[in-house]
């Protein structure tokens, strides 16, 4: 953990408490808030790095990161989520920026592919992601394939 509350850990080094807190936030938002009956524990977590933020009062943001060649040929970020009570405070922007910096520390300067909820296209574009093709349905929610070329600058 660093002094700002960010943690980055491989699956096999996660504690039960950290994993539980990650699953609580993801299910609270992706299943309950978004009213989407889908399998959050989809089998990819063991191959991911897990990034989360806990300022000392509990986990309020997380994402999972894949090195190149694991989920896609490119690196990837998924399950990007902040707790409803901290939305609009800039934590979501910091989460994506920290994810890109963490991927850089894991894999170097590499392209990053995401499957983004379509209404967040502008948010991800602001980090240098470029939309590929048109929207498709994933778990009944419109998504867009977006790729960020390698070498972009990340500012926190
Ligand atoms: C997407 C999410 C992580 C953003 O977190 P946040 O804490 O609200 O982020 P910030 O306060 O840093 O705001 C980030 C930007 O996202 C935009 N944004 C957030 N929710 C949005 C929405 N539903 N529709 C459109 N834009 C949205 C904000 O307007 C803001 O834009 P700005 O920087 O130009 O002002 C958060 O809303 C979330 O967890 N949503 C539910 C889970 C989800 O859908 N995750 C994305 C999967 S691809």
The reply to whether 142 falls in a domain is yes
What is the domain extent for residue 64? 6-148
Pocket of ligand 1 (CB under 6 A): 29, 80-82, 86-93, 116-117, 119-120, 123
Residue 1, pLDDT > 60, answer no
The reply to whether 119 falls in a domain is yes
Q: How many CB atoms lie within 10 A of CB 39?
A: 8
Q: What is the pLDDT of residues 54-63, one digit of tens each?
A: 999 999 999 9
Residue 13 tokens read as 């080094």
The pLDDT score that the predictor gives to residue 78 is: 98
The reply to whether 99 falls in a domain is yes
The reply to whether 155 falls in a domain is no
Q: Which residue has the higher pLDDT, 121 or 1?
A: 121
The reply to whether 50 falls in a domain is yes
**CA–centroid distance, residue 78 to ligand 1 (Å):** 14
CATH number of the CATH domain containing 24: 3.40.630.30
The reply to whether 153 falls in a domain is no
Q: What is the pLDDT of residues 26-41, one digit of tens each?
A: 999 999 999 999 999 9
The reply to whether 156 falls in a domain is no
Angstrom CA distances, 21 to 26, 119, 120, 142, stand at 9, 26, 24, 27
The reply to whether 61 falls in a domain is yes
- Report the mean per-residue pLDDT for the chain: 96
Q: How many domains does the chain have?
A: 1
Confidence class of residue 45 from pLDDT cuts 50, 70 and 90? very high
Q: Which atom of ligand 1 is nearest to the CA of 95?
A: 3
The pLDDT score that the predictor gives to residue 4 is: 86
- Is residue 107 within 8 Å of 69, Cβ to Cβ? no
| Nearest residue by C-alpha to atom 43 in ligand 1 | 81
């Amino acid at each position: 953990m660093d002094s700002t509350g960010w943690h980055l850990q491989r699956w096999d080094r996660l504690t039960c408490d950290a994993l539980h807190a990650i699953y609580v936030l993801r299910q609270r938002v992706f299943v309950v808030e978004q009213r989407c009956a889908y399998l959050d524990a989809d089998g990819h977590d063991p191959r991911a790095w897990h990034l989360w933020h806990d300022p000392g009062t509990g986990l309020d943001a997380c994402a999972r990161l894949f090195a190149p060649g694991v989920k896609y040929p490119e690196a990837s970020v998924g399950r990007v989520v902040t707790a409803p009570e901290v939305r609009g405070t800039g934590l979501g922007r910091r989460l994506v920026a920290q994810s890109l910096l963490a991927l850089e520390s894991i894999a170097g300067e590499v392209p990053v592919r995401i499957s983004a909820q379509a209404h967040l296209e502008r948010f991800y574009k602001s980090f240098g992601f470029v939309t590929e093709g048109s929207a498709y349905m994933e778990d009944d929610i419109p998504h867009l394939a977006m790729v960020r070329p390698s070498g972009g600058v990340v500012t926190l």
